[in-house]
Amino acid sequence: MRTSRQTREQNVQLLGQARQARTRSIIIWTAVSVIGAIGWAMLALSRGEDVSAAWMVAAALGSYAIGYRFYSRFILRRVLRADHTRATPAERLEDGLDYQPTDRRVLLGHHFAGISGAGPLVGPVLAAQMGYLPGTIWIIVGVIFAGAVQDMVVLFFSTRRDGKSLGQIAREEIGPVGGVAGVLAIFSIMIILLAVLALVVVQALAESPWGTFSVGMTIPIALFMGVYLRYLRPGRVSEVTAVGVGLLLFVIVAGRWVANSGLADTFTLAPRTLVIWLVIYGFAASVLPVWLLLVPRDYLSTFMKIGTIGLLALALVVTLPTLRMEAVTDFASNGEGPVFAGSLFPFVFITIACGALSGFHALISSGTTPKMIQKETQVRSIGYGAMLMESSVAVMAITAACVLDPGVYFAMNAPPAVIGDTVQAASETISSWGFVVTPEQLSAAAESVEEGSLLSRTGGAPTLALGLAAILSEILGGDTMMSFWYHFAIMFEALFILTAIDAGTRVGRFILQDALASTHPRMARFRATGWLPGVALTSAVVVCLWGWLLWVGVNDPLGGINTLYPIFGISNQLLGALALGLCTVLLIKSGRLKYAWVTAVPMAWVATVTLTASWQKVFSGDPTVGFLARRDQYQDGIDAGQLLPGAQDMGDMRTIVNNATLDAALSAVLALLVIIVFLDAFRVALRAIRTPDEVRLHEAPYVASRLIAPAQLIATREEKAELARAGLGPGGGIPRQRDDAGDGTSVTAEKGERE
């Protein structure tokens, strides 16, 4: 009786605790929803009055929290049905080169660094010319329902298929026609994306000894971290983190000393020299084992990325700067923007690119990350979570651009052909648009960051750096620190983007290896990641291709960003639509037809937007929009012996004609390839719906997992207890068998795992 009474009392107590927890959860999430809703209301409804940038942070963080807590969990449990008992390829195929079970915290850092490139920094800054509201809506809504969904679902399906690349999955699951078209499109887009990412790095580091030294030194630091974690102190993630971050902070400060010393000339590199060094680095990063350079460097850079963005968000809340850009400018409707031509639909979506949805992420999610993930259930925190982190970067970028004086913003982002090359001419032109700015204001802005001029510093990176410096100097250092924060931001942007180049090059190598291995049985050896001649050859081909396109961009008379960024945005979003389409087919083939809308709806939207943009960029009669119209304009100038804006001589004129022709051809071919994939995917999906019994999936067979690891970054109470029973540290691992003495002790599979 007493035992029964005690049991009832315990049950009542547990029930009371559960109710309290549920009540507390309801209160917390209601508060989060209210804060987010107020933020959106202030941004959308305020007209003709000051709007604090803090409302951007409130709207973004509230929306992210709700999306992650509810929508991503729904996808993980109901749509994907992730199985924590199933062994991942990292566990089954571990080889120490590409397949390596990696602590979820370290892997999140690697994945975030791998997906974070130029897009979330540059795109939102350029899109700010249409006002702060359109871009912000797409960044936040797009990532919750499209971008993060794509990253998570692709990561899951690739993990179920031994970490195969997106192209290989398309070839196996769709068929030879759509598969081959998909591989060609994916590989071509990959090369374009890497070239543009590298171009932004070159523009940020060119003639900058501070940035070049600091970014360059992250490579030996990462090598040291890799050796430290692999051989010296295995499993000691906290230790190596402290050492790595300490060294990173030191080289950032030391970069300023180098810039003011006799070593400045050594680290002052011309753009063409940087191209060569980037190609060498990309090759090395692709060939070396992931644990030696790629993972520790990405993990290290993540601290700087998240730390800087977190500091910026804190500064916005503390200083409460006003958004000085209009909510929606006239350029959104008339399509005559000086930063980029074209109306809000479709160009704001392809310009923002990575901040809301990025096809490049699908290559990382089907490249390095699925070969290192410990558990299927971790796809939520790593896939969906990392994309939300990148979207927050995009929000900070558009905020930093919109707190600047609009006149200064347009002076920095409009080309000389539009505003002239003097502060007086720029002032008069920009003021005629309704954004009054004086020559004195433009000169003062340049002097505040110790630059000779800020006119036509296109590409977005300098604008973001100026906005970031203006915000951070309000809480740390005042006007005297403007120059420091500006150059710190330039270096931050270069480091931010460079990590996407190394991971992207490796993924490009995977794609090429799979493609070559599928051409003939004798070529099957190329698929072996341990065959070093094949690894070296395919890596060399990839870096040479994007290196050549980068060289074209560096030497482009109109500026590489103006020439390559539009095709970057189009190809990136086309790849995103292709990835979402493939995921839709896989959901249908795996018996999840009622949930196919999760990927089908964003696929339809992105495909509509991007194919419309492709058509306009190729065939529009406006030379500022259409590639063919621009080619004809400059060809007519050549025929008439007349130099047009942007060209210094006839050689430049011919280069512009060639580049416009190349852009038009690439845009048309990529759009055609993606349409072929869509048509073949529709055929396969329709057949799977009609005859589900004949469906064949190419998943790896189920193998029970021996590895124990938490699903989320912070382990639950139950997960901590499971790790403790297995004798494992917070990073997880594979427990060893009981010892011969039979005392029941259990130790980790990896020496030093326990922290």
Q: Per-residue pLDDT for 41 more than 90? A: yes
Which residue type sits at 396? M
Strand partners, 735: 748
- How confident is the model over 219-245, as a mean pLDDT? 80
pLDDT (tens digit per residue) in 156-211: 999 999 998 888 898 889 888 888 888 888 888 888 888 887 887 787 777 778 77
Give just the sign of the alpha carbon dihedral 603, 604, 605, 611: positive
3-state secondary structure of 408: helix
- Whether 127 is in a domain gets the answer yes
Q: Which two tokens stand for residue 577?
A: 């639509």
What is the band of 749 on the pLDDT scale with cuts at 50, 70, 90?
very low
Helix (H) or strand (E) holding 36: helix 2-45
Sequence-ordered list of residues with C-beta below 8 angstroms from that of 34, at least 6 positions apart, any chain: none
- How confident is the model over 20-33, as a mean pLDDT? 85
- Whether 249 is in a domain gets the answer no
User: For 523, how many CA atoms within 13 A lie in the half-sphere containing its CB?
Assistant: 10
Residue 377's pLDDT is: 96
Angle, alpha carbons 655-660-666 (nearest 5°): 125
Q: Per-residue pLDDT for 713 more than 80? A: yes
- Which has more confidence, 597 or 483? 597
Percentage with pLDDT > 90 across the chain: 36
The residue among 598, 684, 94 whose CA lies nearest residue 373 is 94
3-state secondary structure of 337: coil
Range of the domain at 504: 20-207+269-298+344-392+499-516+539-694
- Whether 559 is in a domain gets the answer yes
> Any idea of the CA torsion for 630, 632, 634, 638, to the nearest 10 degrees?
170
Number of independent structural domains in the chain: 1
Residue 9's pLDDT is: 67
C-alpha span between 685 and 585 (Å, rounded) = 5
Angle, alpha carbons 182-185-190 (nearest 5°): 120
- Whether 46 is in a domain gets the answer yes
- How confident is the model over 377-405, as a mean pLDDT? 93
Angle, alpha carbons 44-307-349 (nearest 5°): 40
- Whether 659 is in a domain gets the answer yes
**Cα 141 → chain centroid:** 16
Classify residue 25 by burial, with Cβ atoms within 10 Å: 0-12, 13-18, 19+.
Answer: exposed
Classify residue 50 by burial, with Cβ atoms within 10 Å: 0-12, 13-18, 19+.
Answer: exposed
C-alpha span between 576 and 299 (Å, rounded) = 25
Which phi and psi (to 5°) does residue 52 adopt? Answer: -75, 140
| Residue keyed to tokens 């991503």 | 72
- How confident is the model over 57-77, as a mean pLDDT? 95
Residue 369's pLDDT is: 92
Percentage with pLDDT > 70 across the chain: 92
Q: Per-residue pLDDT for 739 more than 50? A: no
| Residue keyed to tokens 């959308």 | 44
- Kindly calculate the radius of gyration of the chain based on its CA atoms and give it in whole angstroms: 26
Sequence-ordered list of residues with C-beta below 8 angstroms from that of 577, at least 6 positions apart, any chain: 359, 603, 606, 607, 610, 674, 678
Residue 560's pLDDT is: 62
- Whether 421 is in a domain gets the answer no
Sequence-ordered list of residues with C-beta below 8 angstroms from that of 91, at least 6 positions apart, any chain: 101, 374, 705, 706, 707, 734
3-state secondary structure of 708: strand
Q: Per-residue pLDDT for 106 more than 80? A: yes
Which phi and psi (to 5°) does residue 748 adopt? Answer: -80, 160
Strands (E), 184-241: none
Residue 177's pLDDT is: 84
The 3-state secondary structure of 473-510 reads CCCCCHHHHHHHHHHHHHHHHHHHHHHHHHHHHHHHHH
- Round the average pLDDT of the chain to a whole number and report it: 85
Task: Find the length of the chain.
Answer: 755
pLDDT (tens digit per residue) in 254-313: 887 888 888 888 888 888 898 999 999 889 888 888 777 777 777 777 777 777 778 888
Q: Per-residue pLDDT for 710 more than 50? A: yes
Give just the sign of the alpha carbon dihedral 125, 126, 131, 136: negative
Q: In angstroms, what CA-CA distances link 641 with 629, 636, 638, 651?
A: 18, 8, 5, 12
Q: In angstroms, what CA-CA distances link 238 with 110, 181, 228, 309, 561?
A: 16, 45, 12, 22, 40
Which residue type sits at 155? L
The residue among 176, 50, 84, 90 whose CA lies nearest residue 677 is 176
The residue among 389, 302, 400 whose CA lies nearest residue 354 is 389
- Whether 429 is in a domain gets the answer no
Residue 563's pLDDT is: 67
pLDDT (tens digit per residue) in 336-361: 888 888 889 999 998 887 889 998 89
Read off the DSSP letter of residue 133.
H
Q: Which two tokens stand for residue 650?
A: 């006839």
Query: Is residue 346 reached through a cis peptide bond, with omega within 30 degrees of 0 on the bond before it?
Result: yes
Residue 738's pLDDT is: 42
Residue 568's pLDDT is: 80
Q: Per-residue pLDDT for 746 more than 60? A: no
Q: In angstroms, what CA-CA distances link 348 with 279, 439, 678?
A: 31, 30, 24
What is the band of 69 on the pLDDT scale with cuts at 50, 70, 90?
very high
C-alpha span between 624 and 611 (Å, rounded) = 18
377 in Cβ contact with 140 (< 8 Å):
no
C-alpha span between 267 and 209 (Å, rounded) = 5
Residue 328's pLDDT is: 93
- Across 61-75, 213-227, 562-576, which has the greatest mean pLDDT? 61-75
- Whether 580 is in a domain gets the answer yes
Q: Is 397 left (phi over 0), alpha (psi -120 to 50) or beta?
A: alpha
